[in-house]
Amino acid sequence: MRRMINFKVVARTLGILLLIEGVAMLTALLISLIYGESDLQAFGIASLVTMGTGGLTYLATKNASFDIGKREGFIIVSLVWVVFSFFGALPYTLSEAIPNFTDAFFETMSGFTTTGSSVLNNIEELPHGILFWRSLTQWLGGMGIIVLSLAILPVFGIGGMQLFVAEVPGPTPDKLNPRIRQTAMSLWGIYMIFTVLETILLKLGGMTLFDAINHSFTTMATGGYSTKQASVAHYDSAYIHYVVIIFMFLAGTNFSLSYWGLKGQLNKVYKNEEFRAYSFFIIAFTLIITVGLYFSNWGGVERSFRDSLFQVVSIITTTGYATADYLVWPPFLAAIIFLLFFFGGSAGSTGGGIKIVRIVLLLKNSYFELRRLIHPNAIIPVRYNKRSVSDQIITNILAFFMFYIIVFVLSVLIFTIIEPDIKTSVGAVATSLGNIGPGFGKVGPVENFCNVHPFGKWFLSFLMLLGRLELFTVLVLFSPAFWKK
Amino acid sequence: MRRMINFKVVARTLGILLLIEGVAMLTALLISLIYGESDLQAFGIASLVTMGTGGLTYLATKNASFDIGKREGFIIVSLVWVVFSFFGALPYTLSEAIPNFTDAFFETMSGFTTTGSSVLNNIEELPHGILFWRSLTQWLGGMGIIVLSLAILPVFGIGGMQLFVAEVPGPTPDKLNPRIRQTAMSLWGIYMIFTVLETILLKLGGMTLFDAINHSFTTMATGGYSTKQASVAHYDSAYIHYVVIIFMFLAGTNFSLSYWGLKGQLNKVYKNEEFRAYSFFIIAFTLIITVGLYFSNWGGVERSFRDSLFQVVSIITTTGYATADYLVWPPFLAAIIFLLFFFGGSAGSTGGGIKIVRIVLLLKNSYFELRRLIHPNAIIPVRYNKRSVSDQIITNILAFFMFYIIVFVLSVLIFTIIEPDIKTSVGAVATSLGNIGPGFGKVGPVENFCNVHPFGKWFLSFLMLLGRLELFTVLVLFSPAFWKK
């Protein structure tokens, strides 16, 4: 009945994308050239291998019909992150910045998925090219996510993403290609504007241009890689902290809202239910933690407020920068931070996790179920942005949430086999699945993932991919129905 | 539009039920009389106070119209457990077995909700009447739950309980009263038969008659109170362990299935989807843990198997007896036990927790959502026992699951304020909400709840009630819509 899966166009698309990755490596090579450092050769070889593989694949699939359906879409999206991470790991291994391939793959997957978990203990000793490549993987990952969440996932019908289609700039989503192109261009423009703006502001705050660019890249991607071992805590500057907070907040906001905001249609922003909930959660949790920190003698009011706000925004947007170690906070406050691991940014942002819109709809549906119990014959639809949401979308979001919980629980179980400390297991799994970065226990914000068992690194890499692609995109590939003719 | 809530009939019903509780106390008084112990006076006074209050309330509401609607039902069901626990705590405080009222209330609520968490450090020193009363609260709680889950909740429309209505013996559920009476009588009969049978088998295994009766009471209620400080581990007898396992299994099975089974209709049992899943989960988790224990030198094959099976059945049915301390098991195995905290018995059993049928339907719906992604235009209904389940029931079950998670997470947050150890907080909350008994950390299977902060004891008591009444019954009372005219 159904046509065969068009593997040729899958390969061809991946070939084109690999060519792009190879070109991206050349920009890192340029940095090596500028600083005259030893990683030049690594980037040269890596770029050649990547572009070579991409080019050959492209040429070998010349006769492919350009017929991309949903199923090809699922396969391409799932594969591109894996393929990019394999080739993207080359500069690390070739330059011996990260000699071990498992570690290098973990670092690259953590980059492209904008997670930000790292195996590096010696960040400040690494050559500039390598650090730039590390930040660039996140920035490119962020670009990929914007297209994915605002143009591709709504067409796939994943997890209620259809809800935002009407609000996204660009034509209606009947054909994949024109939509992707036009939406991508509009929103990438905003992504770039914000990146440049943050770079300027960080530079003005005393960062070197290099550090400012890198931090802007990883802020806008909600990635959280830093060029400093101590993350943003390295900079003892309230100005820098607040600048980073503002741009993390923007990166965790739906980019189509920023688009409308910049076009002067601020009422579209204010009236957006997800934006209001996102802002509300940040304010509420920041206030609670501020009070908690202040009364546990963490510091003055401003310091307590700033550290609370920074950590809350960093975790809820799934960026993962740190200016304070929440593991040394009172357990109640650390527990709030852990709770935030299951929120995530807005849909259509670069943030990962469950996403605010889903949390809002889940809470609303549960509350409405109580009302339905009292009035069993009344029809009480859940509304979102004043429109009623179909049962189908609610069921889909609830299924997403269930999958998230199931994957989380089973993964923790599996992880306990290699990691006896349950806090570490829970933290590592939650942070990977939510694309956040730091975890709990031995993988807290002042630690890193270098001591995790190799199996654990591959496993967490898989979880990063799963979380980044909203679970369904990857899980659907494991469903027999997907492959049936 | 709606009529006023008929508070008089609420009070009158509670009055009648208090009279019954007072009479139940007299059976404990009888035990005191037989053993000639000092708690005789306590039971006399407690019974008089309870029956007096019940009787006076009954007389004062003579002119109440016997008009019980859904809303009166919700209020009665929520209040009866609270009222019973207040009066049921009297024998403990009056006899000074548990002098502190907070502790006594906790122990009683833990009894009536068939949870089994205890504050007692000196169980074997207590008079027989008190121990009997403690077991009796669970046994009575179990009777209440059978009626609640098979006759009342389906009428309320809570959490997919409508699904079992067709299978329950008795008339269709249009009128609350004749249904409750007839269903209750049939199923209580089975409850009693099993209780007597287990008593005989335990007595044959070498228990005293008193211990056999008490353990049968608390097995059939999936309560888990023991007359021994060391729980069932006190008895170093494989025979006793296996007898208890069998009856825990029966207590965690839908009592209407047992009804059909005893009537010879075994195919109704075998073909029941929940029963199959319940059996499957027990077998699968037991095998995994057996292998794990055996290879970590826990003991021989039989010992590893028996301890695995006992703990798995005890936790999944939410009984909470212990023959081994899972806290000293390898973390992977302890993590599996923790996972089982979120399963629960079958619907229509005396077990608490989320319930197997919900787990099955949640898993099915999530898997089907993947298929719906691939075939967006196909209608793919979730089926249960070969009948398709309406979207409404699925949404309701998913809302239940969400509430369970929300309540769990918020409760852990609140609990961390008084308990810095996160494992203890998580364990205490999960075990209370699931009506299990033992937890993790400082409230593990060989510990108890005596050192929990008084606020924590009241809070956990509330969670036991919430979990026992399937969340909605209690939460609906907090909804403004409930009280609106």
Residue A162, pLDDT > 90, answer no
Could you tell me which residues are beta bridge partners of residue A226?
Answer: none
Of B70, B365, B402, the CB nearest to A395: B365
Q: Is the Cβ of B441 closer than 8 Å to some Cβ of chain A?
A: no
3-state class (DSSP) for residue A346:
coil
More confident residue, B37 or B386: B37
Q: Which amino acid is at A358?
A: R
What's the whole-number mean pLDDT along residues B396-406? 88
pLDDT at B461 over 70: yes
On the question of pLDDT at A468 being above 90, the answer is: yes
Nearest one of B358, B362, B384, B396 to A399, comparing CA atoms: B362
On whether the CB atoms of residues A451 and A442 are closer than 8 A, the answer is yes
List the one residue out of A350, A395, A405, A355 whose CA is nearest residue A221: A350
Buried b / exposed e across B377-392, counting CB within 10 Å, b at 16+? Answer: eeeeebebeeeebeee
pLDDT, one tens digit per residue, over A141-160 is 999 998 888 777 777 766 55
State residue B394's pLDDT score.
83
Q: Which residues pair with B388 in a beta bridge?
A: B383
Residue of B57, B69, B28 whose CA lies nearest to B45: B28
Q: Measured in whole angstroms, how far is the alpha carbon of residue A392 from the centre of its chain?
A: 26
Q: Confidence band (pLDDT; 50, 70, 90) for A39?
A: very high
**pLDDT on residue B376:** 74
Residues whose CB falls within 8 Å of the CB of residue A296, separated by 6 or more in sequence, listed in order: A329, A330, A333
Question: Which pLDDT band holds residue B173 (cuts at 50, 70, 90)?
Answer: very low
Tell me: pLDDT of B171 over 70. no
- Measure Cα distances from A233 to A145, A311, B266 in Å: 27, 11, 67
Q: Per mean pLDDT, which of A262-266, A302-306, B357-361 is the most reliable?
A: A302-306
CB pairs under 8 A between A and B: 139
Higher pLDDT, B183 or A215: A215
Distance CA B303, CA B238 (A): 9
Q: Write the pLDDT tens digit of every residue in B313-339.
A: 999 999 999 999 999 999 999 999 999
Q: Would you tell me which residues 354-373 of chain A have a C-beta closer than 8 angstroms to some C-beta of chain B?
A: 362-363, 365-373
How many whole angstroms separate alpha carbon A388 and alpha carbon A301? 43
Distance in angstroms (rounded) separating the CA atoms of residues B387 and B431: 33
pLDDT classification of B169: cutoffs 50, 70, 90 = low
Q: What angle do CA B159, B163, B167 make, to 5 degrees?
A: 140
* Contact check, Cβ <8 Å, B395/A396: no
pLDDT at B174 over 50: no
CB neighbour list of residue B23: distance below 8 Å, 6 or more residues apart? B47, B51
Contact B339 A422 (CB under 8 A): no
Q: Which residues of B touch A362 (CB under 8 A)?
A: 402
Residue A119 has pLDDT above 90, yes or no: yes
Average pLDDT over residues B278-291: 97
Instruction: Locate all alpha helices (DSSP H) within A265-390, ordered by sequence.
Output: 266-270, 273-295, 301-316, 331-340, 356-374
Query: Residue A364's CB: how many other CB atoms inside 10 A?
Result: 16
Mean pLDDT (whole number) for A57-73: 85
DSSP code string of A379-427 = ----EETTEEPPHHHHHHHHHHHHHHHHHHHHHHHHHHHH---HHHHHH
The residue to which tokens 């691991």 are assigned: A341
Mean of pLDDT values over A349-370: 90
Q: B479 — contact with chain A (CB < 8 Å)?
A: yes
Chain A positions touching B374 (Cβ under 8 A) are 70-71, 476, 479, 481-482
Question: pLDDT tens-digit profile of B433-447?
Answer: 999 999 999 999 999
Binary contact (B481, A375; C-beta < 8 A): yes
Confidence band, pLDDT 50/70/90 cuts, at residue A251: very high
Residue with tokens 């973390």: B331
ipTM (interface pTM)? 0.86
Q: Which of A339, A395, A409 sits opposite B394 (nearest CB)?
A: A395
Distance CA(A457)–CA(B437), nearest Å, equals: 37
Mean pLDDT of A35-54: 96
Q: Is B383 helix (H, G, I), strand (E, B) or coil?
A: strand
Cβ contact B438:B325 at 8 Å = no
Predicted local distance difference test score (pLDDT) of residue A173: 44
Task: Give B371's contacts in chain A (Cβ within 8 Å).
Answer: 479, 481
Q: Are the C-beta atoms of B6 and B76 separated by less than 8 Å?
A: no
| Statement: residue A293 has pLDDT above 70 | yes
pLDDT at A175 over 50: no
User: Which of A362, A365, A412 is opposite residue B335, by nearest beta carbon?
Assistant: A412
HEC profile of A433-484: HCCCCCCCHHHCCCCCCCCCCHHHHHHHHHHHHHHHCCCHHHHHHHCHHHHC
Lowest-pLDDT range of A8-22, A144-158, A409-423, A461-475: A144-158
pLDDT class for A1, splitting at 50, 70, 90? very low
- Measured distance CA(A171)–CA(A65) in Å, rounded: 24
Q: CB-hemisphere CA count at 13 Å for B406? A: 18
pLDDT of residue A169: 57
Both tokens of B35, joined, read: 């053993």
